Chains A and B, each alone.
Chain A
Amino acid sequence: MGRYLLHRLWQSALTLVLASIVVFIGVRALPGDPATAMAGEEADPAAIAAVRAQLGLDDPLPVQYVKFVGHALTGDFGKSVRTGTPVREMIGATLPVTVQLAVFAMLVAVLIGVLAGVVAAVFRGRWPEWGANGFSLFALSVPTFWLGILAVLYLSVQLRWFPASGYVSPFDQPLRGIYYLTLPAVILGLTHAAVVQRQTRSSMVETLTADFVRTARAKGLGRAAVVFRYGLRNSLIVVTTIVGLQLGGLIAGAVVTERIFSLPGIGKLTLDSVFTRDYPVIQAVVLVITAAYIVINLLVDFLYTVIDPRLRVSGRTR
């Protein structure tokens, strides 16, 4: 167990270092020169050179990389080329929005997905299964950003049930904050609900045909008790893993959702910085998202071995 954890930890750290190199090189491969962008298109070559020296762009790439990582480790990602705001502040302001959206969307996905998955598994071969499977096929095929646009049109603009855009922190005003996040979270969560539904269904079908479930039924246990206490409980292992793996993808998927609902999250920051070639922001934001993704996947792996004891055997040192 301990050895396995250490191995995974080391692997993730290595991946993170390599990812930081890729991000660093990738940002420098972007078309456009940040020094020219900062000094202005019409600035004379001397002024551009001065900016270039000030930004440290004259240093050899390895030196620039070591400086970048050294600063990043202390939480210093430099300043935005456009606004001069420290990048750390920009991330600090936008990341909570995206995390709230992602967690809310995940709750929606788990609620809908597990429910639809259980229904599909329990009513196998009858119309509730077709309904539940039809839902997941629909959610996987229909582009969610289109659904988002339609939702804004009908639920916000015409029916005025939800605000079309904007963000209120749930920590300042809990009810209003949740109200503002509901529509984006449902839209973002739908695709993931479909994935959760499929996994829950196949896992439940497998569990419900297992011998111990038949024994429980033979003992005279009620159908509902068997489904929830035996079936669902065993299927939750799979669901937990899927949920964890999806959470990383949700943070990235927020890029589109935030654009549609004009939420001031990290996805919007990513896009804005890509369009304005604000390279300190781009590299910091992509690095933060990727690091979050790697850490979440690592945590899911650990959680998996905690929930399912069978998986601990292979890595056990005793």
Chain B
Amino acid sequence: MTIAAETPAPPARVRGRVTRRLLHNPLGVIGGVLLLIVVIAGVFAPLLAPYAPTEVHFETPFQQPGTVGFALGTDDLGRDILSRVFYGTRASLEVGALSVLFAVVVGVPLGLLSGYWRWLDALISRLADLMLAFPFLILAVGLAAINGGGLTNAAIALGIAQIPTMTRVVRADTLRLKETDFVLAANTMHAGPWRILGQHVLPNAASAIIVQATVIMPVAVIGEAVLSFLGLGIQPPAPSLGIMLSDAQQYLFRTPWPGIFPGIALALICLGFNLFGDALRDALDPKSTR
């Protein structure tokens, strides 16, 4: 009883250390704050946006930023840029989160299986190699063309394209953890493979999975923008930062602003994830001295 009280549970201590390290990294804090702003903008888009994203004002097209009623101006159909940026950010985050979820749900079990059983490894690793034989963008464009447009289909296409890298990360960690003493100890206690994978390997591979997720997220966000820009992702009139940029390109010579704000939003999302992801990787790495 007293012994248990004197030694606090390790996970809580580890978590405290990670948070402390994150807070001591200025770039990580900046990334975290950016992410917070972006997520709030996306989640509360319906509350924050002054207009509906598809609401047109034919009498006031091409308004400059700073116009009364339209803080960031309007586009060719008189749609409010600010509202569309809010909803576009929301769509970007939705696609990003969905494709990360997809890559995790499919990629992590595949990685665990291929790391644990050699005969499965031959099959799964060959499949991953095959998928990696296609350039990422070509794979995403092809999958999006097969699936058809729309937010969910774009997310699935981008998620599938990310599965092989996630599988590789988890496989490498499983291979490493399989040889550790605590797994060998569990083995001697007749723990089944599922119990070992679920209770011993997976929790210890969690930090690698989280870091990989922060790598996937900005790639998926830009991927969505690219697919939508090319006309293969989210379909108009639904708001997407990529579609806004593609629209803006057609009348850039008249007013540049509709082409500037969606790009800034995209850059902030990706910068947030890149900074926070880098800091998280440093904080989770027990070998780093920072």
- Indicate which residue in A29, A149, A153, A290 contacts B146 across the interface (CB closer than 8 Å): A29
Q: In the complex, are the beta carbons of A141 and B134 less than 8 A apart?
A: no
Smallest CB separation, B125 vs chain A (Å): 12
Q: In the complex, are the beta carbons of A19 and B130 less than 8 A apart?
A: yes
Interface size class of A (residues with CB under 8 A): 35 or more
Smallest CB separation, A171 vs chain B (Å): 26
Q: In the complex, are the beta carbons of B252 and A152 less than 8 A apart?
A: yes
Residues on B with C-beta less than 8 A from A146 are 245, 259, 262-263, 266-267
Q: In the complex, are the beta carbons of A252 and B137 less than 8 A apart?
A: yes
Q: In the complex, are the beta carbons of A137 and B274 less than 8 A apart?
A: yes
Whether a CB of chain B sits under 8 angstroms from the CB of A105 is no
Bound complex: CA of A149 vs CA of B256, how far in Å? 10
Residues on B with C-beta less than 8 A from A157 are 252-253
Q: In the complex, are the beta carbons of A153 and B231 less than 8 A apart?
A: no
Q: In the complex, are the beta carbons of B134 and A290 less than 8 A apart?
A: yes
- Indicate which residue in A153, A275, A293 contacts B135 across the interface (CB closer than 8 Å): A293
Residues on B with C-beta less than 8 A from A251 are 135
Whether a CB of chain A sits under 8 angstroms from the CB of B110 is no
* Total residue contacts A-B, CB cutoff 8 A: 113
Residues on B with C-beta less than 8 A from A249 are 135-137
Residues on A with C-beta less than 8 A from B256 are 150, 153
Q: In the complex, are the beta carbons of A260 and B249 less than 8 A apart?
A: yes
Q: Which residue of A has the minimal Cβ distance to B140?
A: A252
Whether a CB of chain A sits under 8 angstroms from the CB of B239 is no
Q: In the complex, are the beta carbons of B245 and A149 less than 8 A apart?
A: yes
Residues on B with C-beta less than 8 A from A145 are 225-226, 229, 245
Whether a CB of chain A sits under 8 angstroms from the CB of B138 is yes
Q: In the complex, are the beta carbons of A255 and B270 less than 8 A apart?
A: no
Smallest CB separation, B244 vs chain A (Å): 10
Bound complex: CA of A30 vs CA of B141, how far in Å? 12
Bound complex: CA of A260 vs CA of B225, how far in Å? 14
Bound complex: CA of A249 vs CA of B141, how far in Å? 14
- Indicate which residue in A19, A140, A270, A294 contacts B141 across the interface (CB closer than 8 Å): A270
Q: In the complex, are the beta carbons of A143 and B137 less than 8 A apart?
A: no
Whether a CB of chain A sits under 8 angstroms from the CB of B183 is no
Smallest CB separation, B103 vs chain A (Å): 19
The interface centre, meaning the residue of A146, A147, A248, A270 with most chain B CB atoms within 10 A of its CB, is A146
Whether a CB of chain B sits under 8 angstroms from the CB of A18 is yes
- If A22-B134, A149-B259 are given as contacts, then 13 extra A-B residue pairs at C-beta distance below 8 Å, sorted by A number, are A18-B130, A137-B274, A140-B270, A142-B263, A145-B226, A150-B256, A150-B263, A255-B138, A274-B232, A275-B231, A286-B138, A290-B133, A293-B134
**Chain A residues engaging chain B, CB cutoff 8 angstroms:** 15-16, 18-19, 22, 26, 29-31, 137, 140-143, 145-147, 149-150, 152-153, 157, 248-249, 251-253, 255-256, 259-260, 270-271, 274-275, 286, 289-290, 293-294
Q: Which 8 A-B pairs have the closest CB atoms?
A: A252-B135, A146-B263, A141-B271, A141-B270, A252-B137, A142-B267, A274-B145, A252-B138
